[in-house]
Amino acid sequence: MNRPSSRRQFLKDIGGTAATLPFLLNLPSLGFANGAARKQRLIVMFSPNGVVQNTFWPDTEGKDFAFKQSLSPLEPYKAKTLVLKGVCNKIKGDGDGHMRGMGCLLTGIELFPGNIQGGSDTPAGWSRGISIDQEITRYLQGHPETRTRFGSLEFGVQVSERADTWTRMSYAGPNLPLAPISNPYQMLQKLYGQREDQAMLASVLDEVQEDFTKIRAKVSSEDAHLLDQHATFVRDAEKEMKEFSQTKSDHPTPKLEAGVKNDTEHMPKLSRMQIDLLIDSFQSDAARVATLQYTQSVGGAKMTWLGVNEGHHTLSHEPDEKKEVQEQLTRINTWYCAELAYLVKRLSETKEPGTNQTLLDNTVVIWTNELGKGNSHTRDNIPFVLVGNGLDFTMGRSVFYPMVPHNRLLMSLAHAFGNQLTTFGNPTFCSDGVLNRLT
């Protein structure tokens, strides 16, 4: 389980080899060491509580579809967008709709029985399996040419501090939920904290050496021998540190606006900060997989900046007939779509280092949700909106499926990375193989 203590995290980062390796070697390389092969990437973006079906889905299939209001921010990227309707989360078992919607969304497998009680359903625990983002990460990290410092990064925006089935969609394995990092400053620290440490250490060692000279004068010549030996190690470490800093990439440490509060009111700003860091982490090749989770299933953000003064989840329970509520919900989803569009815009503007391409050419963003529709809690017609050319799917289309299990889509994602899974999650839902009509 992810434990946010940064001291423990530090130890985790430096790993078990610490005793034998110089400090330097445990520090991250920010270079682009992974060669010239294409860098395929995946981003899973999550927003909660379902969508308003008739303002979301295009009316027609094929190339000549039109975006409805909820998807309108994607207009500039229509040629790079693939809208998949009729993909369903068919996982049954313990847990309420939101819990299974969240916990089975990327895992495609049932939840364990447990003590998390939602509504009148049977209580449940964590998911029984690994999630697809982590499965792909595992695959990429298993090959030297695709291995990156972190493999995957889990970004959050206003995710609750609560750790339970409603708040976690990424799993490193059965019963191993991963906590997203909602605080951009914490994410910056994770990405660049140790680089600052390197610079500081070089300067510390410089001053410590100066002090060695002063102290040496106080001790006998026999004892000075020990200090001299010690000083040599300090000098060597400083030298290595300086040499290293000359060879490392010129990728600058990104700057964040200071003092942004981590609260709902600042959600628009936090969202942009996290997206910018995500882009930066791809640019520096710190990871090839990322999740970007807005709130959590049942998320109740009050989006006052949209003129919506009721919590999102409460609104999502209102019946279809309440037009003004459906309009508010559409506004909420349009806002999420605009954040997606910003992410895509940044990807499309950012050069793939060392090539003439952009990050968007090698990345796919999938925007999804724990439900199809909020007031029915259905997991049919879950939004799966893909943007970007990273997986070589045929983009610029709208495709309607006959209520196919989402496990098949999850498998397709793995296949697109070269990970030829024959099943993923519950095998019952995988018998028809990868999802057709993606290419």
Partner 1 sequence: MSNHLPIFLFGLLWSAALVGADDAGRKIYADRCASCHGAQGQGVRDKYSDPLVGDRSLASLTRYISKQMPDDKPGECTGDDAAHVAEFIYAAFYSPEAQLRSNPPRVELARLTIGQYRNTIADLIGSFGGVSKADERHGIQAEYFNDKRGFDGKKRVLDRIEPIINVRFDDSKPVEQMDKSEWAIRWSGAVTAPQTGDYDFNLETVNGARLWVNDKDVPLIDAWVRSGDDSRHIATIRLLAGRTYFIKVEAAKEKKETVVAVALKWKPPHQAEQFIPEQMLSPGGGSQWLVLGTPFPPDDNILGYERGASVSKAWDDATTQAAFEVAGYVTNHLQQLAGVRADAADAESRKRAVAFCRRFAERAFRRPLSDEVARMYIDQHLGGDVPILPGIKRIVVQVLKSPRFLYNGLENDPNDPYVVASRLSYDLWDSMPDQQLTDAANGKRLSTREAIAKEVDRMMADGRTRTKMREFYHRWLKLDELRGLSKPSGQFPGYDENLVSDLRISLDMFLDDVTWSEPSDFRQLMQSSNLFLNGRLAQFYGAKLPADAPFQSVALPDQGRSGVLTHPLLMAGFAYSATTSPIHRGVFVSRNLLGRRLRAPPDSITPDSPELNPDLTTRERIGKQTRKPNCMTCHDMINPLGFTMEHFDAVGRMRHDEGGKPIDSSGSYRRMDGDVVQFKDAHDLASFLVVSTEAQGAFVERVFKNVVKEPILAYGPTERDRLLHYFVDHAFSIRALLAEISISSALAPPAPPKVAKP
Which residues of this protein are in contact with partner 1, per CB under 8 A? Answer: 1, 3-8, 10-11, 14, 18-23, 26, 111-117, 122-126, 128, 163-165, 174-175, 196-197, 200-201, 203-205, 207-208, 210-212, 215, 218-220, 222-223, 226-227, 229-230, 233-234, 236-237, 259
**Quick one: DSSP state of residue 110?**
P
**Minimum separation from the CB atom of position 296 to partner 1 (A):** 14
**Minimum separation from the CB atom of position 295 to partner 1 (A):** 19
**Minimum separation from the CB atom of position 435 to partner 1 (A):** 29
d(CA 319, CA 304): 22
d(CA 134, CA 274): 20
State the pairing for strand pair 397-405/384-387. unpaired
**Quick one: DSSP state of residue 378?**
B
Residue of 410, 397, 403, 413 lying closest to 382 (CA atoms): 403
As a residue count, the chain comes to 439
Of the pair 115, 422, the CB lying nearest partner 1 is at 115
Residue 425, classed as helix, strand or coil, is coil
Of the pair 117, 309, the CB lying nearest partner 1 is at 117
**Minimum separation from the CB atom of position 112 to partner 1 (A):** 4
Are the C-beta atoms of residues 313 and 294 closer than 8 Å to each other?
A: no
Of the pair 79, 226, the CB lying nearest partner 1 is at 226
**Minimum separation from the CB atom of position 4 to partner 1 (A):** 7
**Minimum separation from the CB atom of position 259 to partner 1 (A):** 7
Of the pair 120, 356, the CB lying nearest partner 1 is at 120
Residue of 186, 179, 180, 242 lying closest to 209 (CA atoms): 242
Q: Considering just the CA atoms, what is the radius of gyration of the chain in Å?
A: 24
**Minimum separation from the CB atom of position 16 to partner 1 (A):** 8
**Minimum separation from the CB atom of position 105 to partner 1 (A):** 17
Of the pair 174, 268, the CB lying nearest partner 1 is at 174
Of the pair 19, 37, the CB lying nearest partner 1 is at 19
Of the pair 96, 339, the CB lying nearest partner 1 is at 96
Task: Dig out the tokens for 107 from the structure.
Answer: 């895992």
Of the pair 128, 373, the CB lying nearest partner 1 is at 128
| Strands ordered across the beta sheet of 151-157 | 151-157, 287-294, 41-46, 363-368, 384-387, 81-88, 397-405
Residue 53, classed as helix, strand or coil, is helix
Q: Tell me the DSSP string of 230-274.
A: HHHHHHHHHHHHHHHHHHS--PPPP---TT---SGGGHHHHHHHH
